[in-house]
Amino acid sequence: MASLGSLTLDGDDGSYPTAVGFWLRSKCSFNVQDARQGDWQVELKQEHDAAVARCKSVLAPDEVVAHGRSAIEVTLDHVCFRLNDPLELKAEPRDYVMLTREGDGRVLTYYSTAPFDVRVGPIGVRVFDKEGNEKLPEKTEPIWMPVLRYYRLSQTREDIFDAYRYMFLAFEALLQSLWPIQARERESDWLERAVGELAKRINLAPYATPGAIDVVNDFVRSQYSSVRLPLFHSKRSSLTLPHEGLEEKTVAIAYSSLTRLCRDALNEFFKLGGQSGVVTNFAFQRGLTGLFEEMPEFVCSEDPSAVDPAERTFTPRGFPVHRFPHLELEAPSNSGERSIIATLPLDDELRRLNVRRVGLVNKGTPGVVGVIDNPLSLARVDKFRCVIAFKFINRNTPRGT
């Protein structure tokens, strides 16, 4: 049986051609099997930190992920209310295991996101007058205001929906401190008035839809009407339910724009300053190309060892290593992400594997190592595919920008 830990992906009898498994933030306290959602069956197991959704239909990969996650979320809602076990999927929505059909065969795909974090140290600047004497900068005590609390809470949220809610509260607090809402003034009217005032000091074109003629109206529509209202109100929950109604990509784009505008407005009106720095996407893409050229093999193993940055071998306990014959690096893009895709055709011997490690190696020396906490069984599978998405994160800039 193809499985994620003790959770089968294709069912005990192999009758499910499609499935997806996501990791949970914490372990489930009960055994749960929910088969009430059409063709979907969701299963959780006690002391297991994963959830699996199986489907009787053959679906395309994007449909498997979207519909499978939706089915799992519904089950988690029931488990929280009925069993008082509040569970949540891990924040990174692209970390999952998926079982699909490809021609007449079954493919088990392991998706994982690898953060590529970069932070540049502070840059020191010295200023001298015409006599050659160093001019020391004036020291000012930064002011505090409620907008900073909302801003910090937004930047610490892992869920993009929560992050956006807090950032919009920060934006509202900022506008309220500059142009307070008037008695009996409708919120939408106040927002358009305040954003109009803001536009007199800050060019809103970079934060609006490209080519928009009325940037104030466009900004209010794209942020307030399209994202803020759906996330703050549940009257039309079928359209606005987090993780299902509004797409995460849509919220992420709006969040990036709103965060940058908040920072620019705070610095324009209150001179709060802040460190920034740039490691370009070009440098990230070029570095990843170099890494790929130096690490020509993608491998997997049953070795359950925890990751040790000092290790010099891919399998510290000496387990056999299995090489993927097909390896591909996606073409560079402007997205700040790039994936390595490896495929391993399976024979009867390989189908007996319970994979715990995957990664890139150079002559046996590990360069990238991914450890799978719940072993992946490859039984009844024809191909095993690994997709490692490297995600560029510039720590010198605000999250989401």
Structure confidence by residue, pLDDT tens digits, 34-80: 766 678 999 999 999 999 999 999 999 889 998 999 899 999 999 99
| DSSP-derived 3-state class of residue 352 | helix
Q: Which among 213, 242, 270 is the end of a domain?
A: 270
Average pLDDT (352-370) is 89
From 396, 399, 389, select the one nearest 113 (Cα to Cα): 389
Regarding beta strands 7-8 and 2-4, do their DSSP bridges make them parallel or antiparallel, or are they unpaired? antiparallel
Q: State the pLDDT confidence band at 375, using cuts at 50, 70 and 90.
A: very high
The total domain count for the chain is: 3
For residue 135, pLDDT over 60 is answered with yes
Average pLDDT, the chain: 85
Domain membership flag for residue 30: yes
Instruction: Specify the DSSP element, H or E, that contains 225.
Output: none
Q: What is the pLDDT of residue 337?
A: 78
In terms of residue numbers, what domain contains 189? 144-270
Max CA separation in the chain (angstroms):
86
For residue 332, pLDDT over 90 is answered with no
- Measure the CA–CA gap between 163 and 154, rounded to whole angstroms: 4
Q: What is the pLDDT of residue 278?
A: 56
Average pLDDT (119-146) is 64
Pair (264, 333) in one structural domain: no
Q: Which among 248, 270, 292 is the end of a domain?
A: 270
Q: Angle 161-163-167 (CA atoms, 0-180°, nearest 5)?
A: 120
DSSP labels, 155-191:
HH-SSHHHHHHHHHHHHHHHHHHHSPPPTT--HHHHH
**Percent of the chain beyond pLDDT 90?**
47
Q: What is the pLDDT of residue 286?
A: 76
Pair (239, 315) in one structural domain: no
Question: Quick check: 319 and 305 in contact, CB under 8 A?
Answer: no
Q: What is the pLDDT of residue 174?
A: 95
Domain membership flag for residue 334: yes
Q: What is the pLDDT of residue 336?
A: 73
Domain membership flag for residue 285: yes
Average pLDDT (305-309) is 83
For residue 198, pLDDT over 60 is answered with yes
Pair (266, 297) in one structural domain: no
Regarding beta strands 365-378 and 105-118, do their DSSP bridges make them parallel or antiparallel, or are they unpaired? unpaired
Domain membership flag for residue 5: yes
Domain membership flag for residue 138: no
pLDDT digits (tens, 9 = 90+) for 239-264: 567 666 778 888 888 998 999 899 89
Pair (263, 300) in one structural domain: no
Instruction: Specify the DSSP element, H or E, that contains 149.
Output: helix 146-156
Domain membership flag for residue 358: yes
For residue 125, pLDDT over 60 is answered with no
- Rounded to whole angstroms, what are the CA distances from 238 to 87, 91, 105, 180, 208? 21, 22, 36, 34, 27
Domain membership flag for residue 130: no
Question: Rounded to the nearest 10 degrees, what angle do helices 248-270 and 160-178 cross at?
Answer: 30
CATH number, domain at 191?
A: 1.20.120
pLDDT digits (tens, 9 = 90+) for 152-177: 999 888 888 899 999 999 999 999 99
